[in-house]
């Protein structure tokens, strides 16, 4: 029996098993983050269907705008409507948000949890406003269509 060959084969199998889960896990994290960006990067009237397609049913949302919470199969669309009404009422235009490098992306089976820093900028009655140090927290579920958002919360500093 060739022990060097057997040891080499065992070592190859052990290394493959040790590396494979990490690669799959990294791909899952990338896919999860892509789903988050697919929603938040498409929040404009021209791309809203792409954003809303990333919401599962039901969804739970907590945000700074009244009524501060939405839940159900149309929560994402209901939130979008409330955001636009709030902005119109308060003279808010040119709203943009940027998300930074995630602080956390946890994937456990078919569930994921993402926390990332964000900055929101807009004009209120013509005056530029910047809200740095915000936090976006998102929960997702893996569905047959891919990762979908089941809940998210926005917090400002």
Per-residue pLDDT tens over the stretch 16-59: 444 444 445 569 999 999 999 999 999 999 999 999 999 999 99
Largest Cα–Cα separation, the chain: 82
Q: Are strands 146-155 and 55-62 parallel, antiparallel or unpaired?
A: parallel
> Exposed, middle or buried: residue 2 (CB in 10 Å: 0-12, 13-18, 19+)?
exposed
Among left, alpha and beta (phi > 0; psi -120 to 50; other), residue 96 is beta
Nearest to 114 by CA among 102, 127, 124, 122: 102
- CATH code at 19? 3.10.450.50
Quote the number of domains for the chain.
1
For 63-76, what is the mean pLDDT? 97
Q: What global pTM score does this model have? A: 0.82
**Banded pLDDT at 157 (limits 50, 70, 90):** confident
Which has the higher per-residue pLDDT, 5 or 145? 145
DSSP state of 150: E
- Tell me the HSE value of 85 on the side-chain side, using a 13 A CA sphere: 9
Owning domain of residue 15: 3-155
Provide the 10 A C-beta neighbour count for residue 130. 8
Nearest to 111 by CA among 147, 157, 155: 147
Mean pLDDT of the chain: 88
């Amino acid at each position: 029996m060739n022990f060097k060959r057997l040891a080499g084969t065992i070592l190859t199998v052990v290394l493959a098993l040790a590396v494979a889960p990490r690669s799959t896990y990294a791909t899952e994290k990338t896919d999860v983050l892509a789903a988050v960006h697919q929603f938040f990067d498409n929040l404009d009237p021209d791309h809203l269907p792409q954003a809303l397609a990333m919401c599962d049913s039901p969804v739970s949302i907590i945000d700074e705008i009244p009524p501060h919470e939405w839940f159900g199969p149309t929560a994402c669309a209901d939130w979008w409507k409330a955001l636009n009404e709030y902005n119109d009422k308060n003279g808010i235009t040119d709203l943009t948000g940027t998300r930074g490098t995630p602080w956390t992306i946890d994937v456990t089976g078919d569930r994921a949890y993402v926390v990332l820093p964000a900055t929101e900028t807009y004009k209120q009655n013509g005056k530029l406003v910047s809200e740095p140090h915000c936090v976006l927290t998102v929960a997702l579920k893996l569905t047959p269509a891919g990762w979908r958002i089941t809940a998210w919360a926005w917090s400002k500093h």
